[in-house]
A and B are shown apart, each in its own frame.
Chain A
């Protein structure tokens, strides 16, 4: 909050000179920051805003993107591998800020009303389970990046809203129910099973005796009163008056036990259970801590009733705790249940994070993942797709970068500049009015780039402006997602923006962007995955050219189509024919077996195999390597770590598997399959 406030102050100073007469001070108020303390009230408001909205823009800030350098997106990545890389990222990194910005069209004002919210979230464990599932990774460069944009880590850790995914909630519920069912300590008759505290110390024995007397005294008094006997004064027990406090628990007389150690309490419990049939020792929650009390009951039946009552209340409390622990997921549930159009910018990773953090573990392949997204968010639109695919927008953008800030500056100059000009409003610009709590402004600009709430706002503005360029009439249509002009873009996301790989969430189909505007993307079609061999661990002095040379010496000048470095320790080599992959692997292992022969020194591969740490494998192994939870910084180390774990059996089944991606890839050469034993030939290091 402090940061947002100071940011506001600096902005006020900054914009003052450029202000004209009509501007008001309210135009640069702080964004709505939501933390633990104001979450409940903000959620209530947000529910209303989302329900009324036409679409909701979102944006996430994470603690990192790639867990190792080679997990970045490569040209040689197949669709399934791109998914594995995104999955790895969503599994390892944490979301620290979540921007939600509902946009509502106000027909009377002919303007959108936006409600930007900036949620700080932190995966704090509030309930049950073990801590391991909450551990997260930080990419140093990403943390530095966040710091560069003045991200407030203190607010995040101290005040961040925690959450439970649906899967975690189910687990916790299950734990709770099973704990609830076999809670033997609460039923005095099952208590025999529970281990008694052995009375080994003299002090214990004395203590137990004293307690027995105390309780029986109290018990007898109680009965006397009940039977109309004389009221004995209790002043003789003044020494323990604060420890033994008579209260009424659910209309029954009871003793509240104060100031005993847990060992003493256990001893008291065993005394009560052994010596007093009509007394029950129970534990009740009072606020945050437990309170131990001894309750008097008339009969066994009544005791059972009481026990059930207590059980019931424990259960209810636990339920409430779970409800509270769900935390930020309430926002996701809201977005999901309202079935609003979700707008993001290059948001495939964002959506994966949402699914991983708030729904449950991600499926192992894209085919199963797509329906999961569809089920929870049936309408998603990506402004990056919009900007690249639409000719109208391409013209507007004048081929400039489609990064969020750039697109915002070009498409929404009237908002980006922070200076409203009525001239541009006629000129095809959509008016966006921002409302934060009671403050409204038609030219709001917090200027906080890379703050999730503001980024979500920018994304929403870009979308609104794009719709305007498409000629969509906001007033006449009640639902944007049914709009014909958007059908070509809805539910399409970039699997990887750099390579132009797009996934259609409706059908699960993947394709590569056919845009002629990006010439470099045409190369993609030439990649034939069965022709690729992966080589790692070769001497570091070898560069792509040398590797190509030694390969062409053996297989012919045209045998190698291309070579691509994953990192300094590994390369992809694309051969002209798939058969060459197995030929290469076979030859490599033959040479390695005859390591000591003189001929080995003279072979063209000797440079490549020098050091004895060179490994090679077909493309399917690359998939296995990317799917592993291990993330070594260098690819060669990673490959070694995986390859050691891999056994030939699994590999064989892998190679036989037919691929569903495209015909050209599905038929892995039978020759390759025959040589599976050599696919994973590793030299011992």
Chain B
């Protein structure tokens, strides 16, 4: 029971009602908020605008419109998923589908519950603008998603003809190599591992060479030699000029050596700036060190280089500039269904998704240090099961709580219905404001108080779906019985008649063995029409059951097994989630994995050590 006053007060007549609710073509009511629609043509103008808004805001809400989210019913994140399998499923979707719209809404919440929002909706289409091979070779579409967008009058032509293109960080660095972007001072120094003997020899050699070159340069400054001597010196030292400053090229054989040169230069020579020179095909060809006359001169050079690089990358980055703005602003990012959205964001704008949840969390944290999930906050307020979509969550809060929020949209934008998309991002902001009010969180102080109550939610923001059987409404029986279950007690079952009900399946199992005929031993739920999951309420039974089905001990079970009934533990499910193709039918995928599993049984023991217990999480 939430410790909040359950005021059934009428929602105060606020300004939000001044934005008219129009009867849209689909017959649904849709709020008419002026949301700035951004395409290729007005992108650069909007970029400055949103930059200001982001820096003036407390939070940034984001919401995506993608071409699909799951290929098959079981690909959705189910209550039986661990954070790991949930991540793998989200990763699978993020790698296949594409983002068509990205709504960003910097907003402020004031104590008076005045919500100031500046919603932008970016139309995206990733294409090969630099002609260096498509950054996105192909993507999947789910017709039902496209059809739903079409019903909302989404303009696919605008999106494809005028959508803003972009490159992820990883694609950008690759593209820079390919187009042979000449210089780059931003060499990301990795944590230096221990140096080998060869490394030390190399560093010493380069150090003395740079030292000689510097003294030679300084020496030549004082005396004016004739041209021949100068050119000879150039030839011997390998020196050159970078702009008006003297420079020296150092050939390198590997990225490791690049790193060594950078480290050496930075620690030994104060007024020398190292740059990487990319080879045509990729990789670094050489390092150029530029000598500056003073500390001021060095700063000047570094600034110049930085500006130059920024200009160039702005062209390459495209829409990712907005992501970078949000990232550098360090403002908390508010999302609904953050796991799905941020796997997409990571894979499209940062780099390919790492294989595990932990790596993903770390990598994402380095870009967005603070992510707030509306779904998670909703859980603090009450049972979330039924309020999975934004309008229903909002109306739930309106019904149950007194939380007036006044929405103010200072910007002007076209209210033309067919062109006005991206309302969810305003809904997210509104919901967040309401939740702050209900949870008595003061959004204004959040930023000053890093230990505020909101931050602690982050730690488990991706643990949605990990809390046993209480997430989605299709497992309604178990919502009455929200017990935490170890995944060791789950068994997947398939090979029964397609379309059979869970009840019938349970009956069948009850009759098959004495152990199973007792009350409260196990329960059955369908995952899809060909696969079910059995949960055993007692530890150890699942192993017995798997064994019994496998060996055919016990008459009833043997009969079922003979009829084609198959079973596998959670390990098989995890392996399916990890595989390249999840498969439309879970039963078929489990059977496939199970077959391979038998052939390489050595892995079973190794993996059983790594089993996750729900209770441990």
- Give the interface of A toward B (CB within 8 A): 63-64, 67-69, 94, 122-125, 130-141, 143-144, 147, 152-154, 156-158, 178, 195, 540-541, 629-631, 633, 641, 645, 647, 649
Contacts and interface: CB of A to CB of B under 8 A. Distances in A.
A123 B147 CA distance: 10
Contacts of B98: 138
Interface centre among B127, B149, B150 (most CB of A within 10 A): B150
- Give me the 5 closest cross-chain CB pairs, A-B, nearest first: A153-B156, A132-B584, A132-B72, A158-B150, A139-B138
B156 A157 contact: yes
Given A135-B143, A154-B157, A641 B580 contact: yes
Contacts of B544: none
B581 A630 contact: yes
A133 B584 contact: yes
16 contacts: A67-B137, A130-B584, A131-B142, A132-B71, A132-B584, A134-B142, A135-B142, A136-B140, A139-B137, A140-B126, A144-B127, A147-B161, A153-B156, A195-B503, A633-B137, A645-B580
B68 interface: yes
B160 A137 contact: no
Interface string B156-185: 110111000000000000000000000000
Interface of B: 67-68, 71-73, 98, 126-128, 134, 136-144, 146-147, 149-150, 155-157, 159-161, 281-282, 499, 503, 579-581, 584, 596, 599
A140 B138 contact: yes
Given A133-B584, A154-B150, A629-B581, 10 more contacts: A124-B147, A125-B143, A130-B73, A138-B141, A140-B136, A141-B134, A147-B161, A157-B150, A540-B282, A647-B596
A364 B68 CA distance: 28
B128 A131 contact: no
B242 to A, nearest CB: 27
B143 A136 contact: yes
B300 to A, nearest CB: 37
B157 A152 contact: yes
B143 A122 contact: yes
A633 to B, nearest CB: 5
A633 B149 CA distance: 28
B479 to A, nearest CB: 14
Contacts of A135: 68, 71, 140-143
Contacts of A153: 156-157, 159-160
A362 B370 CA distance: 49
Nearest to A65: B138
A275 to B, nearest CB: 25
A139 B126 CA distance: 11
B596 A137 contact: no
Given A122-B143, A124-B143, A135-B142, A141 B128 contact: yes
Contacts of B503: 195
Contact of A140 (B139, B155, B499): B139
Contacts of A133: 584
Contacts of B584: 130, 132-133
A649 B598 CA distance: 13
A68 B139 contact: no
A157 B149 CA distance: 9
B580 A630 contact: yes
A157 B142 contact: no
A124 B98 CA distance: 18
A153 B154 CA distance: 11
Nearest to A156: B156
Given A135-B140, A645-B596, A140 B134 contact: yes
Contact of A147 (B155, B160, B579, B580): B160
Contacts of A141: 128, 134
A667 to B, nearest CB: 30
Contacts of B134: 140-141
Contacts of B281: 540-541
A125 B144 CA distance: 7
Contacts of B136: 140
Contacts of B149: 157
Interface centre among A132, A137, A139 (most CB of B within 10 A): A132
B138 A64 contact: yes
A629 B150 CA distance: 29
Contacts of A123: 143
Contacts of A144: 127-128, 160
Nearest to B142: A135
A134 B98 CA distance: 16
Contacts of B141: 63, 94, 135-138
B128 A140 contact: yes
Contacts of A629: 581
A653 to B, nearest CB: 15
B25 to A, nearest CB: 11
A154 B540 CA distance: 56
A130 B71 CA distance: 9
Contacts of A122: 143, 146-147
A83 B158 CA distance: 36
Interface centre among B136, B157, B579 (most CB of A within 10 A): B157
Contacts of B127: 140, 144
A134 B137 contact: no
A156 B581 CA distance: 29
A143 B160 contact: yes
Contacts of A647: 596, 599
Interface centre among A137, A140, A144, A153 (most CB of B within 10 A): A140
A139 B134 CA distance: 10
B72 A130 contact: yes
A630 B147 CA distance: 26
A519 to B, nearest CB: 30
A357 to B, nearest CB: 13
Nearest to B98: A138
B137 A131 contact: no
A555 B128 CA distance: 43
A633 B95 CA distance: 12
A94 B579 CA distance: 25
A68 B157 CA distance: 25
B161 to A, nearest CB: 5
A137 B71 CA distance: 12
A584 B127 CA distance: 41
A426 B592 CA distance: 67
B316 to A, nearest CB: 17
Contacts of A130: 72-73, 584
B72 A154 contact: no
A205 B143 CA distance: 44
Given A140-B127, A140-B138, A157 B580 contact: no
Nearest to B600: A647
A139 B137 CA distance: 6
B220 to A, nearest CB: 38
Contact of B156 (A69, A139, A154): A154
Contacts of B146: 122, 157
A67 B127 CA distance: 16
B456 to A, nearest CB: 36
Given A131-B142, A135-B142, A138-B141, A157 B147 contact: yes
Nearest to A644: B580
Contact of A137 (B139, B147, B155, B159): B139
Contacts of B156: 153-154, 156-157
B138 A137 contact: yes
Interface centre among B127, B155, B160 (most CB of A within 10 A): B160
B499 A131 contact: no
A629 B71 CA distance: 14
B256 to A, nearest CB: 14
B151 to A, nearest CB: 8
A36 to B, nearest CB: 12
Nearest to B155: A154
Nearest to B146: A157
Nearest to A637: B580
B100 to A, nearest CB: 11
A423 to B, nearest CB: 42
Contacts of B161: 147
A337 to B, nearest CB: 28
